[in-house]
């Protein structure tokens, strides 16, 4: 059974006395019913983070009016804030190259309604998965990326994303470096799965790097994409233990299982507005 429709408020601001009381009193004074509340005060940065879920039907007005009435409070406290509607499915544009496991997993979760999303299209720099994607009834866009025409390729990617009303772009093992202008256009909207426990072993072939270093744990990292390669704010991570008998091919095989799970969790946290970014770090209210 699906959950009742909720409005989700997330915010961050300089920490001070009265934030929780003011926000809670505002909601209560409008007969709002809070079903979930999370707070975090960061002593080092002096910043406060908050996420609330409010039953939409408990309020006497719509989401636009809620935003209008909350804005003065946000201004008073210097908040960075956002209110979303759980009834609106976010539109996830998936990008993939020639590694299939994360794409398969996302399509399976979408088909089973495990992710409350719409997938308006899949973009790839190879034709490999056209048949699979179109079998699911999803448009497939082949956008080759060649050294001499990268700017044109990414201009096309951005055009497709915008035309499809994309909310988030998921790099499901899309093995190309996203250009800075694209990162700047969509801050906090591009999510990547990196096959390493960042910040270790950035760039290509991290499992081979890990094997050469003799590590005992390998992992995967779901993070926001920024112009600095593999250095964006981290959303989710996980690891698995390995030993001296494992070869690089074994690490790749183990890693695929971690990558699928970490990407799915990280994407879910983002879709449910559980992630708040500040500087190059995240607060994730699980």
Q: Given this model, what pLDDT does residue 3 score?
A: 80
Read off the pLDDT of residues 251-269 as tens digits, 9 standing for 90 and up.
888 889 999 999 999 999 9
> Residues 107, 247: one domain?
yes
Other Cβ atoms closer than 10 A to 103: 24
Contact predicate 141/122, CB 8 Å: yes
pLDDT at 2: 61
**11, 24, 50 from 64: Cα distances, Å:** 17, 19, 20
**41 found inside a domain:** yes
> Is pLDDT above 70 for 28?
yes
Instruction: Answer with the residue of higher pLDDT: 171 or 204.
Output: 171
- Give the CATH number, domain containing residue 226: 3.40.50.170
Q: 159-178 burial string, b = 16+ CB within 10 Å, else e?
A: ebbeebebbbbbbbbbeeeb
Q: Any catalytic annotation for residue 230? A: yes
Residue 158 has pLDDT above 60, yes or no: yes
The whole-model pTM stands at 0.94
pLDDT of amino acid 1: 44
Query: Are 282 and 45 a contacting pair, CB within 8 Å?
Result: no
143 shares a domain with 254: yes
Let me know whether 58 and 95 are in one domain.
no
Confidence check: pLDDT of 75 > 60: yes
Total structural domains in the chain? 2
Q: Which residues of 58-75 are buried (b: 16+ CB within 10 A; e: fewer)?
A: bbeeeeeebeeebeebbe
Which residue among the candidates 105, 167, 230, 273 is catalytic per the annotation?
230
Q: What is the pLDDT of residue 254?
A: 87
The residue whose two tokens read 């002593």 is 43
Query: Do 97 and 195 belong together in one domain?
Result: yes
Q: Are residues 206 and 130 in the same domain?
A: yes
Residue 11's domain comprises 6-85
145 and 184 co-located in one domain:
yes
144 and 30, same domain (yes or no): no
- Residue 90 forms beta bridges with which residues? 117
Note the pLDDT tens digit of each residue in 106-152.
999 999 999 999 999 999 999 999 999 999 999 999 999 999 999 99
> Both 200 and 235 in a single domain?
yes
Element (DSSP H or E) covering residue 135: helix 130-135
Looking at the structure, do residues 126 and 196 belong to the same domain, yes or no?
yes
Check which CATH number belongs to the domain holding 72 and give it: 3.30.70.260
Whether residues 227 and 191 share a domain: the answer is: yes
Average pLDDT over residues 203-227: 86
Question: Does the residue 1 lie in any domain?
Answer: no
Of the listed ranges 172-181, 208-217, 223-232, the one predicted with least confidence: 208-217
Instruction: Please provide the average confidence, as pLDDT, over all residues in the chain.
Output: 94
Task: Indicate if 167 and 49 belong to the same structural domain.
Answer: no
């Amino acid at each position: 059974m699906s959950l009742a429709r909720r409005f989700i408020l997330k915010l961050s601001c300089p920490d001070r006395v009265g934030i929780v009381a003011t926000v809670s009193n505002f909601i209560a004074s409008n007969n709002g019913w809070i079903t979930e509340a999370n707070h975090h005060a960061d002593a080092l940065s002096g910043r406060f983070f908050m996420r609330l879920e409010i039953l939409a039907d408990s309020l006497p007005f719509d989401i636009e009016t809620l935003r209008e009435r909350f804005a003065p409070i946000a201004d008073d406290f210097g908040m960075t804030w956002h209110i979303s509607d759980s009834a609106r499915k976010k539109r996830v544009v998936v990008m993939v190259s020639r590694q299939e496991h994360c794409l398969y997993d996302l399509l399976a979760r979408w088909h089973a309604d495990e992710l409350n999303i719409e997938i308006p299209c899949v973009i790839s720099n190879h034709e490999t998965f056209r048949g699979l994607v179109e079998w699911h009834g999803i448009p497939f866009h082949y956008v080759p990326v060649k050294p001499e025409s990268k700017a044109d390729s990414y201009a096309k990617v951005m055009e497709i994303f915008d035309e499809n009303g994309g909310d988030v772009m998921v790099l499901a093992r899309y093995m190309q470096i996203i250009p800075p202008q694209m990162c700047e256009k969509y801050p906090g909207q591009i999510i990547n799965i990196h096959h390493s426990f960042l910040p270790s072993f950035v760039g290509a072939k991290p499992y081979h790097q890990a094997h050469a270093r003799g590590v005992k744990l390998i992992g995967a990292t779901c993070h926001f994409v920024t112009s600095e390669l593999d250095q964006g704010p981290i959303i989710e991570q996980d690891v698995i233990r390995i030993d001296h008998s494992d070869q690089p091919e074994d690490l790749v095989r183990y890693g695929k299982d971690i990558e699928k799970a970490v990407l799915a969790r990280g994407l879910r946290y983002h879709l449910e507005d559980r992630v708040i970014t500040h500087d190059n770090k995240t607060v994730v209210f699980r």
